[in-house]
Amino acid sequence: MNVEPPLPHPDLLAAIPRLRRYARVLTGDATRADDLVQETLARGWEKRRLWAAGTDLRAWLFTIMHNIFVNQRAMAVREAQNVSLDGDGETGSAWQLPVRATQQTHVELIEVLRELSRLPPEQREVLVLAAVEEMRYEEIATVLSIPVGTVMSRLSRAREKLRRSVNAMPGDSPSTLKIVR
């Protein structure tokens, strides 16, 4: 009798907020992000026999999420070729701040998030995984299926672009720059 190792319940629950945060960066929309997290968890549960007990469950789930997102984006590109030009074309960004901030801090964070959303998706993904999720280069490379050198290059370019755009914003402060150093 082949018994599948169960996914570690506490680790799975602990990964959900991080998955949601990364999904919001990928999608730019809270509703689509929640759908992506749900799809990731469903796929992870469905494929749980492929997870090797003792390995990093979080990195495994991030890899699943990234692959689902890439597949969804490719499908959306294909479907966009068949979409009516009469559509409303509304695209929004639904960033949410996880802390209660002063008005100035709130505005600064919104400006940084706006600039973050302007980065190319490949750079934004690497930056968020490194700076927010605190993943090591090797973990990021595994999640995104790219070489470590590419991770380092994308991260460097993303940090530099974000640093330049934040420095160019009126009213910037040293506290804002800590986010990207």
Residues 156 and 113 in one domain: yes
Q: Where are the strands (E) in the chain, listed by range?
A: none
pLDDT digits (tens, 9 = 90+) for 71-122: 888 887 776 655 443 444 444 444 444 545 567 676 777 777 788 888 898 9
Q: What pLDDT shows up at residue 150?
A: 95
Query: Contact, 30 vs 96, CB < 8 A?
Result: yes
Residues 47 and 108 in one domain: no
The DSSP annotation for 68-82 comes to HHHHHHHHHHHHHTT
Residues 6+ apart with CB under 8 A from 34: 20, 23
pLDDT digits (tens, 9 = 90+) for 20-36: 999 998 888 889 999 99
Integer-rounded Cα radius of gyration of the chain: 18
Residues 72 and 107 in one domain: no
The residue among 23, 31, 164, 49 whose CA lies nearest residue 90 is 31
Tell me, what DSSP letter sits at residue 120? -
Domain that holds residue 20: 9-80
Two tokens, residue 178: 């800590």
Of the ranges 38-47, 60-69, 171-180, which one carries the lowest mean pLDDT score? 171-180
Report the C-alpha gap between 100 and 105 in whole angstroms: 9
Q: What pLDDT shows up at residue 71?
A: 86
Q: Is residue 93 part of a domain?
A: no
Residues 108 and 71 in one domain: no
Q: At what angle do helices 57-80 and 30-46 cross, to 10 degrees?
A: 120
CA dihedral 32, 38, 43, 45 (to 10 degrees): 170
Mean pLDDT for the chain overall: 78
Q: Is residue 156 part of a domain?
A: yes
pLDDT digits (tens, 9 = 90+) for 112-155: 778 888 889 899 999 989 988 888 999 999 989 999 999 999 99
Higher pLDDT, 98 or 61: 61
The number of distinct structural domains making up the chain is: 2
Q: Is residue 94 part of a domain?
A: no
Q: Residue 174 above 50 pLDDT?
A: no
Q: What pLDDT shows up at residue 149?
A: 95
Q: Is residue 96 part of a domain?
A: no
